[in-house]
Each structure stands twice: as C-alpha cells, then as structure tokens.
Structure 1
C-alpha cells in the first residue's frame, strides 16, 4: 500500500457518543503494483472511541479483489475496481448496523456504493461425529452458537442504467422512508449522470447473500437535478424536518448558478408523502450572497438545537469570503426559508494564503458539554483548523400581566397590576437566569400613571430572577387612574416586554470564553405581551349583560354543494355578530377550524392563530377593540388558505365559532355557530394520443412496420385524482369469420416494449388477457409499499416481455403464425358481432364518467346537458376514421359490437396521486404491425384496415375504505393507424389544363349555335318599342299656322 497523500479523514462519520461506531476513510489510498498504481481507497471502522486507542478497528477494502480489477466483454474492457476510490463519502445508518461507502470510480467511473454490515449465521456446535458414543444416536438438543462475521456488499454497476462517468456514490445516506418499522432504503447521488444534470437515487441492494447472482441495486425512486452542471448531489442527507416521523431529503447543488455568472449554490429540500415513497420539493434554499460562495458544499444534521420538536440543519458555503455556515431551523412545513444564524470564519493569523474554506466540512450535532443541546465542529482545511461551536441553552418564557379589577369604572382612582414571568428550559437542565422587563400602561391615552416608574409616568422597568422549580415570579405595581366620561369607551392597554440580562458574546468573536451562565430566549416565542382592561359603563347594573347573536356565510363557496378541492386558493367566511342586549366590551370572535390544514391565508393584526390538537384556533378582536353597543352589528371576514386541503381521509371541513365579550351573556346558546363544509374532488382528465405512423399503404410497404404510440394523460384540475387506473386495450390477433376461423397475428405481444413515467418516477404496469395476469419472466420483485409484486422496470426497458417461459396457463400460446385455424384457441369467450359502421359505433360507446363540467369562473360543477353528453361520446373515435367509406373499412379493435374476432390484451397501470398541472403521465408503446397479415385479412370489398387501441381511465376503490370516490370528466383521443390497400394517385396538372380548354371550346360552340338559331333576338320587345314611338307621334299637338305655309301630312 502507498499511503502518501491518501487523504485519511477526507470522509468520516459517527453518532457522537463514545460507545458509538466510528468510521474514517482514505479515498486516495493506492495499491502499489510493479507497473502501475491502483486507486482503491480504504476505510477503517471502530466499534467505540472511549479510550485514546480505538477498539476493534476493522479495515474495509473490498475493491482489492484480484479477479475484479478489469472487466472485459465483447464490447471492450472496463476499469472495474482499479480506480474505485472507496470512501469518497461515508454514512453510518441510524441503528449503526450498516455502513454505506461511496466508490464513484468503479466501472469506468459509473460508480457504486459499498455496504459494510454484520452477518450472523448459526452453527450447531457440539461434539463431532467421531466423539459420539458408539451405538448411541447423536443428541439433537445441543446448543447452537452464532457466528458473527462482517461482509462488504459491492453491487455491480454493469446491471444498472448508469453510464460511464456518472460518479454514482459521490454522496450517500439512508432512511426508513415508509415508516420506522419498515425496510431501510439507501440514498446515493450521481452528480455527473443525465448529461451532467445529476440525479439522486433511492434504492435497495438485492442478491447480496446469493451464491448464484451478483449483488445489484434496485431503484425505487429517482430525483433529477434541475440545472446542467450544478453538481446535483454533491452533498445530501436524510432527516425529518417537519416532525411527521418520516425522513426527508436535503440535496446540495453547490455549482448552481442563479444568473449564469457565479456558482452561488442551492440546497433542494424534498418532503416525503406520509406512508408513500413519493417526494415533493418543499423549497430550494438560497442565501443573499451573489458571487461564487458554493452554498450547499456541505450538509450536517444538527438534531433539534432549539428544542422545538423539529430537526435542524447546517449548510456550508466555504467560498463566501473565508467561509460561512448557515443554520436553518425545521418547522411543521419543513425547513424555514430564512437562516436563523450565520457563522462566519474567525480570524486566524496562521492560515495559508487564500480562502480559509471555513465550512467545507461540518460534523453532526453532538452534545459535548452535557448541557442537553447539540454542539458542532466546523472544518477550515485551508487554515488547517477545526472550530468547535457550543450551543447555549434555550429558555422558554411564559409572561402575564393581571389587573386587580376585572373592569374599571370612572370612579376608580387606583388599581394594582401584577407582572409574572415563568421560565422553563427546553432541555430540562436548570441554570440561573435573570430577566429584565418593561411595562407600559395606556401609552396612547395617558390615563394611567405607574408608581415608581422611571423615564415616563406610564412606564415601569424591573428585573426578575427565575427559580429552579419553575414557579411564577411576580411583582406588584400600583397604578393610578384618571379617566373621563369621554374616554371610558376605549380600554386600558398594558404592554409588557422582556429580555435576558446575560447575553452570550457574538459567535464571530474568536477566543471569547464560553458564557457558562448565559442562555438564549426561544426565537419562536414573542417577547411582547399585550393585555386590555375595559371600563364598565352604559349598563343597568355593575356588569353589562349583552346578547350576542352569531351567524356566518361563505362569500365565494356554495356551502350546500361543498368545496371543490383545488378550485380556489382562498375562501372568505363572513361572520356577523349582532348585539341585542347591553354594551358588549372587548368583543371577540373565537373560531376553530378543522382539519389543521385549514389555516388563515393572512394573519391580520386583530387576530391570533394557535394550532392545537383539535384544530386551528383563531381569536380576533371585533369592532377595533371598541365596545359593541346595543342593537349594533359587527362583521368580520376570515380569509382561509385552501391550498393545503387534501381529499382521501378527510371528507369535510368543520368550522366552530363563538362570539365572546367581557360582559355577561343573556342567551349564551346563540353565541355559537357550527357548520360543515363538504370537500369534493373533481378532475378533468385528458388523454392525448400520438402515433408515429398514422397511415401506410400496402402498395408501398410490406412486412412488419415499426409503430410507436405515445399517450399523455393530463389532469387539468382542479383536484388531485386519487387511485387512478389507466387501461389500454391492445388487439393482437384477428380471426377472419368468413374463412373457416383462419387467424392472423397482427401484433406480437412478445415484441411490445412499454415505458411509463410520472413525475420523474418509473411506473409499474401489468398485462391481462381474459382476466388472467400475464407476468414477465421471474426477476427480483420488491415488496416495499405494495402488497402485490412489482416489475423491475429497468429490465423491462431493455428488452421486450417474454411470456414463453410461463407455461400454458399463464399466457397466450400461438400454434403458428397466421395459421389456418388448426392452432389452440386462446380466447376464453368468443362473441359473434354484427356489422357496425364507424359512425354508429361512436354513438353507441357508453361511458361511466361524470356528466359534469367545472365552471372556472364560479368554481362550481354544472351538470352537462344530455344533448352534449351524446355528442361528447364521439371523442373515442377520431374524426379521420369517421370519414372513411362505409362498408369498405375493416376495424381491428377491442370495442364490443365490432364485426371481427379479435384477441386482445389489456395494459394497466396505477398512480396513487395524480396532481393537476403540466406534468403528464407518459405512456409509450412500441410494437410491430404485420402488414402481410393485414393484407391477408382483407375481404374483397374492403380497402381500409384500421388498428384502433382503446384507452380509458377509472378510479380504483380506496383499500382503506376512507373518503369518497372522486368525480371526473374524461376527454380522450385514441391512437390508431390506417392501412390502405391501394394508394391514391394524384391527378396530373395537364389533365386540369386540357379540361379547362375543352370546357371553353364547348361554351363557344354552344353560344354560336344559339346565336344562329335566334335565341338572343328579342322580337316582342322591338314591336312594343315601335308601337310606343307611333303613339307618341300621333298624340303630339299640331304645329301653329301663323306662317301661312303649306302643312305636310305623312301618309
């Protein structure tokens, strides 16, 4: 071994306690041979670090197997273990039973992971055969002993889909994603795969203990990167950020660029759906630094540093200046978007020139000082320094201000105020803490003066020391009141603010001693408290008796029809409070919303929101805090966030409200309002099908033709479609009824290749025929998250399904291809069908889908008219097919009432949650259509052959029985291919020219003939015009005779 520059300690992991396992790796350890070096890498495992000398150190170097250094096959040779670099990253599982090590250089840098585990085998032990007494049988109750040995599982990357230079195993982790008692799954990144976009795989290791097969990985989920070259998966970890009991994922991409100029870096956070192996991106964490800080280079589990019940995380940006580490806190919604603390690189005069790279590596959170809070170590390799940061205790404060009088009167001149502060340490370890407080009374109105106040008459400052028994520490303050009749309608506002006296020094102050008596206030708790004391006035007695009457109505939802999930982001609920009695002081509205996912869209200053086990409690001040007078009405509208509501187990939302005041209530029963809002689901599903070959002519092509059908399922919303089942009926064999049962195999099911994806996840599918399941050849099946066997999708994508190994009862048996009817009949049921025209067939196809439309303007369901329903049914048949000649088309499909015998198989796949949006369910079907069989299937009168596959969507019944079935509307077009017996020859251009000239000549000849026959002479009109001229001339007056000349008269 050549240990120079082996980088021992480049990666290490351990759970922090002295008795926990600890592993350290040297990824550049070289195995030195005569002619060359082998970059194997090595890791060392210790079972404990209680003493200076680690105990039971085991060396892990599985890549030194002599027969696996180089792999050769017919294609070429590959560097198998030669440059594996074991230990580039290392991870110990939470139960410390297994260690996962990355080896990204294995098999031409495809990469793999190495699992180091303890294997226990039983040995019968006892005496040997020759030690048994002669003639006595061997005892059968001998004590069995267990033999413990340690093994390293190295999955062979030759069997997975990784390509060369993918660097799979660059970062590793693990988690029980389906629950604490479920199977442990592994996580590893391949930052250079997928054209350097990168991806992270959740997988299992199979065949590890098999003597006949090599270990392989079985992929269960894939998370792709989002930017080329961002080095997606440079770092990763699993941790429960939202407190739901299921581990989530944080994936670093330090080379990510927001602008394209600098490697700013980002960290993607993915939350897992409860009980399902399905991740959704919660947030992409970023920092304001705009240059190449490479945020996300390192990730570290901190545990719960503020003891709020949610785990936190540390993220390094080693090139932001001299390096920065950010602390992000967990919450019920996942990691918070803004960092709670920013640790910068301390000054170090002994460092090397250049950046210190502070934060390049970060340890797990471990309590090293015993105060109950995790601490951490941060490495700065360029300054050869490790900095240890200790966590200060967090104290939770409960504050209260109480008045000696429940209500004030105009005659009161003095009253007492009591300030109480109670502290509790979230880790349970007490330490002396002193608080300072500041109390102000009626700062706006100036009616109250605090005795002993400093600075101003209405302000009082003081200090209180917390006790170990967590008892209330109170101080009494005398208050003097001077009120007028004009000011008693506004309450006295008391404001209390408090802080710790002993504040820790800033984290950037290097070398400052740790403050042993310092603590920090819980950042999630307010340090300001407001109380109100009202006046009693305008009432018959000393105490006002009001009669509040509460009602409510939805402004944008029909409460009877219910709310369509996903239809709106917000909903407004208007409450009306009418006072039928005396003045109601400090009127308030107390609303409880159930389930807890139903919260306020925006929290106004008048309201306070609290999440409890029963639901979300909202307390709002009415009438701006002023008294609600007799016969007056106050209205308040709550704007609710509807985006978090989901169907399934919850079928309705419940609202409980109560109108409150400091006055006594005449009729308490009408102060309450209870209502339920049904939660409905409705989805508009669209199936868009495309065919690579829409039509083909037998005159131009013979033999098999390659065809690919692509079907995309879109959920146009508004709701999530649960338990979707997609089916595609594929016709395979045609039985020609007029030829004595002769059959033609149009499509070979063994040559069909199917791929199905949704949301970056490969979908499992199944084939059935006549109700019998057709399974592929026996391979490794998973049982995680499902009760039925699943199919190894990687194998199915590489080769077609082969049903020949299953036997006669499990799949179709072909006697011979295109035989004469002597083969075995594979159809369980044969039905004779009568001739149907394609147009008649389209109108007869029935559907069970909902006859509703979703109006996106009113957000309501509208029942579809029956006339539109019947017209909508024709969408299963393409318009092009409806235009084919009647009685000349042979339809090859699986629809009932088709004049053919068709043997069919059904492709089925399921998706648990089909979310609305632009992400489709993509299904691709590649097959070959035998044109020779098509030609033989034609009758003499038939010229067109139509291959039509029928797609459909249904909803499976929820196995838990919870919730109600979703309603949905389906729009679809089915994939098809038309085969023409004869090709249509286009008419030459010269034919059109000669036809036009001939037409003109015929027109000229006809016109001349009609002219000669006098067709165009109009004799009747000429005679009428002549008679009109004569009548005008005869009726004209005679000319004057004054001239004395003769008058000529026409004959």
Structure 2
C-alpha cells in the first residue's frame, strides 16, 4: 500500500523540513525575558487574498495580512495539515443568524473535538471560519458525522474513522447556492475480520452548513462482492483499496441536475475509477434530460443515483495508472454536453494520461471516451491536476493539465529537475488543440502546476483568468496569474504570466512561508465581480508556534491607501490620436473625394478547393478621382474562419468582430492624403487553414474605403471580392491482418491437443485516409463477431470482449481518435443488419476463397458478421476529433483473443475456420453530406485471418450404416461386372501357346470338347 495514498502525505510533510533561527525584535514568536523561545515544529498557514478592484488585479497586497489560528493548535501530536483543502461558502448564518461568509478549511490529520470522537485517532476535521474576523474563536469545527462508529444494518460496512483524512478533499459547485462535498479517502471499512478495506467516504450537505446537523454519507464502493474478485488468497483487489474521495468535484448540468464526481484511484489494482453521484428522477431514470422544465423538483431525489465505472473494461488503462487522481468537468464541444475530465498520472508508460469522457448508462460499462491525451516525459505526472475553464469567451472550455514533476531539458545543466509544466489545450474548431505550454519561472523543484484554479475575470476584460501554484519554488512557494484572451491565453510578452506572487513578497516574518500555493480556491467575495483567491502554505515555527490563516484586508478599511493606483499591465498607459490638416479642398474648404476600390486575387484560380492551399493573396487598388482624401483607411471584412496572415507592415490594427461570423481589419494607407489621380496598391495574404469543409460555397472579402472613420464617397468605395469554394473529399479505408494465416496444434484423437493453449491472439489493422485535400471528420465503425449460436441453442463466446483493445495513431503520435464499444445493442441490431447488407453489397470487399490456401470448402467454417447467420456481433465506434487530411491517416489496431474450445464445440466436420472483422468509415463533418466523387475509394474494408491445423489430418468418425452400405454396393457392383464379362466372352477368349503360336480349339466326339491337344507343329508365320 505504499502507493499514491502516501504520496500526498510525503509531499506535504516535505514542507516541514526547515531551519531553526532566533531573531530579535517583536515578532509573532514566543519571547520570555528577552531570550528567544521557539518551537522546532513547522505549521501550516492559509492565505486568502481579496482582489478588491481593478487597481489590485496586479498588486495583491502582501503587507497587511489578517491571521486566523487553528483552533486545535498544539493539541495534536503532529501537524494537522490545517488548510490542506479550502472552499468558500456564502449566504450562511452566523450565531446571531446574520448573513455570513465562511471559509471552509480542511485539516485531514486533526483530532476531532466532538466528545463522541474522543477515542478516534486523527480522523480529520473541517472548520468553518467566519471571514473578516481574525480571532481564534471564529474558526469552529463543522459537524460532518457526529457518530464515532456506525455498523450498517445491511452489514455492508463498519466504520473505521481512525486516520481517515476527513477534509482531504472538498468541493462546492456554487459558493452562494450549491451543495458542499467533504471527503476522507482513507476511511476504512472494518466489516471483515481479517482486512480493513480502505474504500474511502464522502459526505454532502445542502448549502446551509451552519446548523449542527450531520452531512449525508456516500459510500459508493462498499459492496462485499466487489472488494476482492476471486478467492481471498489469489484474488484481485477491486474496491478493497479504492480510496474514493481522493479527488472530488461538483458539477451542474444544464437541466439543473447536480453531480458529485469522485476520484477513486485505487480501484481494480490501482487502475483507478471515476464515480458519478447524481440527482435521480423516477420519471427519468436514465438521466437523459427531459423536455419538460424542471420547475417542480419534489420528484428529484438528491444524489440518489450512483455509477461506478468498471475499470477492468477501460482498455486504455492498466493497473497502477491511478485514474481518478484528479477530476473536473466542462462543456467542450458544440453539442453543449457536459463532459468529464480525469487524470491518470502513471498511465501511458509512466508519462501520464488524461481522459475526456462521458458515462454510459449502467453499472457494468466502459466510459464513453471522447478524447485521450498523453504526457510527453517519463515521470512528469501528467494529469496530477486538471482544470476546465472557458478562457476565450466562446462558451466552450479550454483544458489545462498539470505535470508538476516535468523536468526541463539538460541544456540547463544540473540546475534542472521538477520545474513543472502546465499543458494548455485551446478549444478551436470544436477540437482541443495543444498550444504552447506554461512554465512559470522555470525554477528548479518548483513543481509548477501542482494546483490550479479559475479566478473569474480579475482584470475586467471579459475573459476568465487562472491561478497556478508552484508550492516548492525556492523552497517557499509561489503562485502565478495568467489572463484569458479572445484567441488564446493572453501571455505576457516577456514572462508569459502577468503576476507572480512569491512567499518572499510578504512582510517579515511572513516571508518565511513554506509551501505557498499547495491549495487554491477562488470566488467573488463581496458581489463586486472580483474574486477572492485562497492560498495554502506552511510557516517557519521560529516565528510563530500556531498554524494560522491569513487574509488580505478589504480596501475600504482605513488601513489601506484608498487612492493608491496600479496600472493594468494589459492596457496601454498612453492615448494616441491623429489630427488631420486639410488643404487643396477647393473654395468651400471641404474635400470631396471620389474613391474607386478594386480588388483581385493574385492567383488565376477559377475556384478554390478547400484544403488545397494554406494561403491566398489578393491585391487592393484604390484610385482617387476627386479632391485629396485624408486619413483614408481600408476596412477589410472577412469570414471569422479566416484572418490576414500577412499585411503591409504596421498599417493594420487588430481585428474586431462585426458579428459572430465576421471580423474586420482596419488598415491605413501608406500615403496621407491620397491626392487626385493617385493610385495606392496594397497586397494582403489570407490564411485559409481554418476554412471549414462543406461550409459556404463562396469566399467573400469585402473591401471598403473610409475617410476619417466614416464611409468614403466615390464611384466605387466598396468592392466585393469573391472566390468560389469547393469541397473535395474522398475517404478510403483499408484493412488487413497482421498474420493472415495462423495455425493451431491438434492430435489425431482431438481437434485441440490436451494441455495446449486453447486461445489464439489475432490482430487486425485498418487505415483510414483522405485522398483529396478537403479535411473531414470521420467516424469508423468496426464490426466483429463475439459469439455464435450452437446447434443446441446455446450462445458460445468465440472472442473475449475484454480482450479486445483498439488503439488509434496518426502522423506524429497518438491520434485524437477514441474507440469505444457501442453498448446501445438494443437499438443497434438494425444498424448492424444494415452494416452487413452494406458490406455484402460493396463490390470492393471480398473474402479470399478457401482454396487460396488449398482448403476444402466443406471443411472450412466462416466466423464473421456477413456470411455467418448464427453469429452475434458487436460494434466498436471510433470517433475522430480533428480533421482527417491527406498527410495524417488514422491507423486503428484491433487485438482480440479467440476461444478455440468454444469454436470447436459447434463445428462438426470443419477444422479450418476463417475469422473476419469489417469496418466502414462514415463522414460526420461536414454534416451536409458532401458527395464523394464518382468511383470513389472504398468506404468499407474487411480484415481476415485464416486459422489452419498443424500436424496430421484429423480422423473423422463414419457411421456404420455407411460402411455396410458401401460393402454391399461393392459386392453387387463386382457381381454385375463378372456377369457382363462372361456374356461378352471374356472368359472364352483364345490363348496363345508358350512359343507364341495360336492354340487351336479341339473337341471330343462325346461333348464336342477335346481334352487333348494337337501336337503337330504349325508353320511359323
């Protein structure tokens, strides 16, 4: 059990290694008669910084902290880890029933102060601290469960709360209205007399937690049958050490259904699992959103439905991957569906893996994996933290993945190691694309990316921002603020981040913090749309012998400078305007321009095939036929899926959005003014990389001349430049078997020799490519037989479903293609039948006949989904999130295990069998059914493996009546032949003497036959 459950404790306790020092002067330490006394222990601190206004967006005050003390300080034998987890909670009631705001603080190693818990050892404790009151009495223990031990009446569990780590993870969906979740992932079930199963426990409560009532306990993995699979001695740990509650996240779906997402990284030999606990409606048990509005919620059972993923069936995960180490959720794609994210930091050969997925209905099912992301460096712990947040304002979440143990490359020498890295995936074109990563300060041992949190819009630019913790940086810790932007994270041109808050920034003695940023939380504290940000850290006990909570003071208090300005670093600190002086404008002193705009594409293309070119250039010609035109600009309006890749230097401003589908560039002329009869030419390059296939039939560029910011006058001040667009897609799929012919061993007595392996592993490969330039998003459906009906009416599995693994790769590594088993079997039976008919009707798909290998047809059996009527088939669906282009074919590998014994149990005389899988590719995007060209490449393929016997041919039993009948037939046939030959004189033919002469036939007087011979010699011929 020296697994991940110890990892956090080891990392956390590493902060407690400090130095002893004695300082003079008045500090927060204990002093006695001028001699310095100090404690050798180090304590945990928590800081909450209020972002109180725009002026403080880049200057969080580190000079005026408020300090909160741990109420149980000094009572424990060791540190309580006060502040290991944090959450805000608003609209509460204090003891005087006034509206209050609380900070929930987890202390997972604390001893409980409840009398009923007196005999418990460090069960963990959660405190609610009233914000704004820095005295010890304002942090009160929160009642999560008052009973020390419970024995479940159904004998499912018996509490063991000792060292349970209550408060190790907490979550609140909405600090103002949402429910609260508190977990203790080391909670143990002591029902077994021989084992204490560390199942983990979570608790939840409605929003009001100030009342003294217990939370509701959630124990999703206490089923006795699932603790150990198999016998106790040689069984497999399944739920036994699942440790549910290692991570927890509260999600809210569009239909107001609340969900608690729980990570359990110890399930099934530490493969890991994710658990969904959601509201349950008896009228809608499937969880599919109902059309009716949920105004009446009395029929909703809060957190009444629990689903535990079956880790054994997640083909992309293996034991010791720690799936569920981190969890989050968000809306990522145009379908608006809430999806879930979880990290498995030891997966993918210790490089780490993150899955974006949905849940299938039913307990015993795989996840519907929508996207699979892998780390790039061994041991970087990719997926230790995940965060889904919309940073670009398009309503779809970006994804940040922490890899806190990432090490920089050796060019920095021995100074490298555990700097940390955050992978950033930008949501673009309904797909997550990897953007440049974030590194903080690249300090050694910083472990940047250990924690992440969304902090809302702290600089009021309309985009959400994030804070990232590096709790080991410079042995003290730091946090970094990154800002969102329209197209990407708004990166500082020099550092990438916009503010770094280091522990050393605080005033003495708080600048000796340790572990600053080990936990983060943010919320709008006072309704002014600026969030408060909570941090957690340790403090060197030479200066203070109490764990404390530190808060920045509100700017309205008199201890603040009320007029101290701070400049927003993302904005210009100057104003630039232009003033025009007009001349040569005639007698009325008003210039009357006469502008004519023309534009043309530089290439001679009649039409543009989408994807055939990455850029296209066009030229704009502007002629003035009238009086001088001052401050003339060209407004270039483009579809939103394009942009100007190259423009005349420093003449065009950043684009603005005319609508959600159009953007406008405003470009100045090189000359000012543009005088009469003068011509100005400007060349632009248009980026075509994001032009969607099957979209518009024409690319339109609108060029408009403007004078001094208003529409110019003239014979043609506006010009529409158009280029016809054509989508050209031809998708091809090819299939083959890695070993087209395999053999199995047999003896003369049995078809499969006793003691030999009765399983054969086969591997089929499919490759999908687009041979024409326009990109397409495709879905690959794979059909494979998994069972057959025997003559006795019994269903026999022939391919083990859990053994089927499918991997998809593309050029450059893993593909964004994710394959899943289609569990909608009831509704897909007709679809499978249509699939069969489609395959059989395809002229390009043929199975090689048996005689290809010299096989006898009546000794050969087919096992497939189109020639075998008694076969049951399953369908895998591989969804490709991203364009399929000519340079990046998708390669899918299907590996399965064949069950020989079951196959031979339904075969009569056959000892050769042919196993085939089939696949077809379906174009999903563009969705308007763009036709492929006539005679296009095949959309369906078959991969076939021939299984042949080794050794001597097998003996076949023959019925006795066949033998008798064959003998009789032979006797009759022989008799007929003898009679026929006799009648034909065969037995009366002349014979020749020994010397070659013809012997004459003689007869006797009595019967006409001679018994003698003529001895007179005959003349020689």
Normalised by the length of structure 1, the TM-score is: 0.57
Distance 1:83 1:612, change over 3 A: same
Q: Which residue in the other structure is 1:294 paired with?
A: 447
Verify the 8 A CA contact 1:706 1:926 in the aligned structure 2: yes
Q: Which residue in the other structure is 1:639 paired with?
A: 685
Q: Distance in 1 between matches of 2:367 and 2:942?
A: 37
Q: Deviations over 1:55-91 (max 9, x none)?
A: 5441535178483684140582344555443432221
By how many angstroms is 1:529 displaced?
Answer: 1.9
The reply on whether 1:48 has 2:207 as its aligned counterpart is: yes
Q: Distance in 2 between matches of 1:602 and 1:285?
A: 29
By how many angstroms is 1:195 displaced?
Answer: 2.6
User: Aligned ranges for residues 126-141 of structure 1 at < 5 Å?
Assistant: none
Of residues 873, 890, 893 in structure 2, which corresponds to 1:920?
Answer: 890
Of residues 166, 176, 181 in structure 1, which corresponds to 2:321?
Answer: 166
Q: Deviations over 1:746-784 (max 9, x none)?
A: xx9978997655424433588xxxxxxxxxxxx566xxx
Q: Distance in 1 between matches of 2:838 and 2:499?
A: 70
Of residues 273, 281, 291 in structure 1, which corresponds to 2:434?
Answer: 281
By how many angstroms is 1:636 displaced?
Answer: 0.6
Distance 1:331 1:149, change over 3 A: closer
Verify the 8 A CA contact 1:191 1:233 in the aligned structure 2: yes
Q: Deviations over 1:397-443 (max 9, x none)?
A: xxxxxxxxxxxxxxxxxxxxxxxxxxxxxxxxxx9xxxxxxxxxxxx
Determine which structure has more spread, i.e. the larger CA radius of gyration: 1
Distance 1:691 1:663, change over 3 A: closer
Distance 1:555 1:37, change over 3 A: same
Q: Distance in 2 between matches of 1:382 and 1:666?
A: 67
Q: Which residue in the other structure is 1:681 paired with?
A: 727
By how many angstroms is 1:605 displaced?
Answer: 1.4
Distance 1:188 1:968, change over 3 A: farther
Verify the 8 A CA contact 1:545 1:665 in the aligned structure 2: no
Q: Which residue in the other structure is 2:478 paired with?
A: 324
Distance 1:551 1:146, change over 3 A: closer
Q: Tell me which moved more, 548-557 or 911-920.
A: 911-920
By how many angstroms is 1:28 displaced?
Answer: 3.9
Q: Distance in 2 between matches of 1:166 and 1:719?
A: 38
Verify the 8 A CA contact 1:681 1:966 in the aligned structure 2: no
Q: Which residue in the other structure is 2:767 paired with?
A: 712
The reply on whether 1:233 has 2:400 as its aligned counterpart is: no
Verify the 8 A CA contact 2:309 2:365 in the aligned structure 1: yes
User: Aligned ranges for residues 742-821 of structure 1 at < 5 Å?
Assistant: 756-758=806-808, 759-763=815-819, 779=823
Distance 1:531 1:192, change over 3 A: same
Q: Which residue in the other structure is 2:519 paired with?
A: 361
By how many angstroms is 1:542 displaced?
Answer: 2.8
Q: Which residue in the other structure is 2:422 paired with?
A: 267
Secondary structure class of the residue paired with 2:224: helix
Distance 1:513 1:976, change over 3 A: same
Q: Which residue in the other structure is 2:706 paired with?
A: 660
Q: Deviations over 1:239-261 (max 9, x none)?
A: 22222223332221111223164
Q: Which residue in the other structure is 1:372 paired with?
A: 529
By how many angstroms is 1:727 displaced?
Answer: 8.4
User: Aligned ranges for residues 46-445 of structure 1 at < 5 Å?
Assistant: 46-48=205-207, 53-54=210-211, 56-60=213-217, 62=219, 65=222, 67=224, 70-73=227-230, 76-94=234-252, 97-119=258-280, 151=304, 153=306, 155=308, 157=310, 159-161=312-314, 162-177=317-332, 182=337, 184-205=338-359, 219-259=369-409, 261-272=416-427, 279-321=432-474, 322-337=476-491, 338-345=496-503, 346-347=505-506, 356-364=514-522, 366-382=523-539, 384=547, 386-388=549-551
Q: Distance in 1 between matches of 2:226 and 2:712?
A: 90
Q: Distance in 2 between matches of 1:328 and 1:44?
A: 33
Verify the 8 A CA contact 2:201 2:217 in the aligned structure 1: yes
Q: Deviations over 1:654-679 (max 9, x none)?
A: 11112334699997232221022233
Secondary structure class of the residue paired with 1:335: coil
Q: Deviations over 1:551-587 (max 9, x none)?
A: 11222462x212532x343322211122333433333
By how many angstroms is 1:187 displaced?
Answer: 2.7
The reply on whether 1:627 has 2:673 as its aligned counterpart is: yes
Higher relative contact order (CA 8 A, sep 6+): 2
By how many angstroms is 1:523 displaced?
Answer: 2.7
Of residues 169, 172, 175 in structure 2, which corresponds to 1:14?
Answer: 172
Distance 1:717 1:253, change over 3 A: farther
Verify the 8 A CA contact 1:377 1:387 in the aligned structure 2: no
Q: Which residue in the other structure is 1:605 paired with?
A: 650
Verify the 8 A CA contact 2:635 2:665 in the aligned structure 1: yes
Q: Distance in 2 between matches of 1:238 and 1:255?
A: 21
By how many angstroms is 1:17 displaced?
Answer: 3.7
Q: Distance in 2 between matches of 1:603 and 1:386?
A: 55
The reply on whether 1:571 has 2:598 as its aligned counterpart is: no
Q: Tell me which moved more, 375-384 or 660-669.
A: 660-669
User: Aligned ranges for residues 832-851 of structure 1 at < 5 Å?
Assistant: none
Q: Distance in 1 between matches of 2:697 and 2:552?
A: 49
Verify the 8 A CA contact 2:817 2:879 in the aligned structure 1: no
Secondary structure class of the residue paired with 1:656: strand
Q: Distance in 2 between matches of 1:643 and 1:605?
A: 23
Q: Distance in 1 between matches of 2:267 and 2:877?
A: 35
The reply on whether 1:523 has 2:523 as its aligned counterpart is: no
Of residues 584, 599, 609 in structure 2, which corresponds to 1:552?
Answer: 599
By how many angstroms is 1:316 displaced?
Answer: 0.8
Q: Deviations over 1:944-971 (max 9, x none)?
A: x999999876757965x48776899759
Q: How well do the aligned residues superpose, as a CA RMSD in angstroms?
A: 5.7
Q: Distance in 1 between matches of 2:937 and 2:486?
A: 36
Q: Distance in 1 between matches of 2:598 and 2:308?
A: 66
Distance 1:112 1:291, change over 3 A: same
Aligned pair count reads: 718
Distance 1:541 1:119, change over 3 A: closer
Q: Deviations over 1:1007-1027 (max 9, x none)?
A: xxxxxxxxxxxxxxxxxxxxx
User: Aligned ranges for residues 23-38 of structure 1 at < 5 Å?
Assistant: 23-29=181-187
Verify the 8 A CA contact 1:48 1:54 in the aligned structure 2: no
Verify the 8 A CA contact 1:2 1:31 in the aligned structure 2: no
Q: Which residue in the other structure is 1:586 paired with?
A: 631
Verify the 8 A CA contact 1:375 1:390 in the aligned structure 2: no
By how many angstroms is 1:710 displaced?
Answer: 1.6
Secondary structure class of the residue paired with 1:669: coil
By how many angstroms is 1:689 displaced?
Answer: 5.1
Q: Which residue in the other structure is 1:1028 paired with?
A: none
Verify the 8 A CA contact 1:201 1:222 in the aligned structure 2: yes
Q: Which residue in the other structure is 2:15 paired with?
A: none
Secondary structure class of the residue paired with 2:681: strand
Q: Deviations over 1:489-510 (max 9, x none)?
A: xxxxxxxxxxxxxxx9xxxxxx
Q: Which residue in the other structure is 1:721 paired with?
A: 776
Verify the 8 A CA contact 2:609 2:728 in the aligned structure 1: no
Distance 1:525 1:22, change over 3 A: farther
**Unmatched runs of 5 consecutive residues or more in structure 2:** 1-119, 125-162, 284-295, 411-415, 541-546, 753-759, 789-796, 809-814, 952-1021
Secondary structure class of the residue paired with 1:530: coil
By how many angstroms is 1:279 displaced?
Answer: 3.6
Q: Distance in 2 between matches of 1:283 and 1:556?
A: 34
Q: Which residue in the other structure is 1:649 paired with?
A: 695
Q: Which residue in the other structure is 2:757 paired with?
A: none
Q: Deviations over 1:794-828 (max 9, x none)?
A: xxxxxxxxxxxx89x9879xxxxxxxxxxxxx999
